[in-house]
Amino acid sequence: MLYYSLKNYKKLVSFEDAVLTGLSPDGGLYMPQYIPKLGSKFFQEFLIYDNYTISMFIIKPYIGKYIPKKILDEIIHDTLSFSFPLKNIHDNIHVLELFHGPTLAFKDVGAKFMAGCLSFFSEKIGKNVTVLVATSGDTGGAVANGFYKKPGIEVIILYPHNGISSIQQKQIASLGDNIYALEIYGNFDDCQNMVKKAFLDQEIKKKYMLTSANSINIGRWLPQMFYYFLAYKKIIVNKNPIELIFSVPSGNFGNICAGMIAEKMGLPIKFFIASTNINDTIPRFLKSEEYNPIPVKKTISNAMDISNPSNFSRIWHLYKKNIFQLRKKLFSYKFTDKETLDIIKKTWKKYNYMLDPHGAIGYLGIIKYLKKQNKINNISEPFIFLETAHPIKFLDHMPLCLKQKIVPDQELDFFLRKKNKIKKISLSNNFSVFKNWLLERK
């Protein structure tokens, strides 16, 4: 498998080069040259495969010869070292819990996989690699954990001032060693733009071998397909094969884009719901066909406080820049903080299930779709929404009446009790300031 830039379809690079560079030299995101189709035999024997075998089938075509099978198998086993429970909320609505990894967020999957790939490539080429990443919350913690003390790799994480939760900041900024935390006085889009500019800056590239661990990097993005397939495996255990509908809390749109790749590989998915907070560039685009990002507004679902989602360019490309094709596969709705808090309280009271603010928006997306289709009392198809982080990570924003009901994960509880100090560097959102810091350090 080779990869091309969305800005230059003719220049192809290997999986190794795409992971090591993160972003194409022309500033475009990498896309696989083609989407491999999984044959009917794979789905006929789907239930007899374990999760590791399924994941190997899915990811191997994208990697080819660039990682030996033995190493790739080790990376997959490490990536899937925690569970992905699928729970029924009510009727035919299910939640896929993606917060059972080390940092209690879905991004542990992509971060663990990419860390394994990058460690192998760094050792192979004998060069130190600098991972430059912007985060709106959970990416930073997952990447910091995944790369912590990895030989030959340093990680520089940019996050917005007052834009992430206190727990997320501690996960990013209390490790030290090879992890550097930069608090940027701006929003996530500012952080993301600074990272993208750094990749195109010749002075910076001369000093550093840069790559990114955001979902712009295929090594972080593609393995997110795994849990869409694993959800399908769980839902069909007692049922005949059926098309699924996923509602995905969406910020930078990498998660839902990975699901779309899974669907194009053959996974039976009827359509997707991209559920957003009031940063609603994509819901507006699907209505008006005008892509018009506006200044980011802060919400309690901070990981989705993104106005210009990088991965939407991949989605737009997947559907051949055809709005009518896209509308057949993607619905998108926005929700306010009030709606988010209301559904958290209602879901606990009625179903005894605790949502985090992001999963709550995923659930709201399903409810809104069903109401629009007048199907709220007749849910015949299986709907799955993604609970992307543990509610404890957003304790400051959870309804006061529920805070004592939220039980911390044992690993996180241990982490919170540690007396690690926050080690951060605060910078303005001016790229020149960031560039000077990069060039003058060490």
Residue 10 gets which letter from DSSP? Answer: E
Q: What's residue 413's pLDDT?
A: 57
Does one domain contain both 274 and 381?
yes
Q: What's residue 418's pLDDT?
A: 57
Predicted confidence (pLDDT) per residue in 17-68, tens digit: 999 998 898 989 999 999 999 988 898 888 899 999 999 999 999 999 999 9
240 vs 115: which has the higher pLDDT = 115
- 3-class DSSP state for residue 110? helix
Does one domain contain both 258 and 355?
yes
In the chain, the number of structural domains is 2
Predicted confidence (pLDDT) per residue in 334-353, tens digit: 999 999 999 999 999 999 99
Q: What's residue 412's pLDDT?
A: 58
Residue 202 inside a domain? The answer is: yes
Report percent pLDDT > 90 for the chain. 71
**Strand-strand pairing, 93-97 and 86-90:** antiparallel
C-beta atoms surrounding 321 within 10 Å: 10
Does one domain contain both 109 and 134?
yes
Question: 99 and 61 in contact (C-beta within 8 Å)?
Answer: no
Does one domain contain both 142 and 121?
yes
Does one domain contain both 349 and 243?
yes
Per-residue confidence at 441, pLDDT binned at 50, 70, 90? confident
Cα torsion at 67, 70, 74, 79 (round to 10°)? Answer: 50
Q: Which residues contact 409 (CB under 8 A, 6 or more apart)?
A: 100, 104, 390, 392
Report percent pLDDT > 70 for the chain. 95
Residue 11 inside a domain? The answer is: no
Residue 392 gets which letter from DSSP? Answer: G
CATH number, domain with residue 278: 3.40.50.1100
Lowest mean pLDDT among 146-150, 157-161, 364-368, 393-397: 393-397
Residue 240 gets which letter from DSSP? Answer: -
What average pLDDT is seen over the chain? Answer: 91
Q: Which domain holds residue 167?
A: 104-217+420-441
The predicted model scores a pTM of 0.90
**Strand-strand pairing, 30-32 and 2-5:** antiparallel
Predicted confidence (pLDDT) per residue in 364-377, tens digit: 999 999 999 988 88
Average pLDDT score over residue span 91-114: 93
Two structure tokens written together for 309: 């989602």
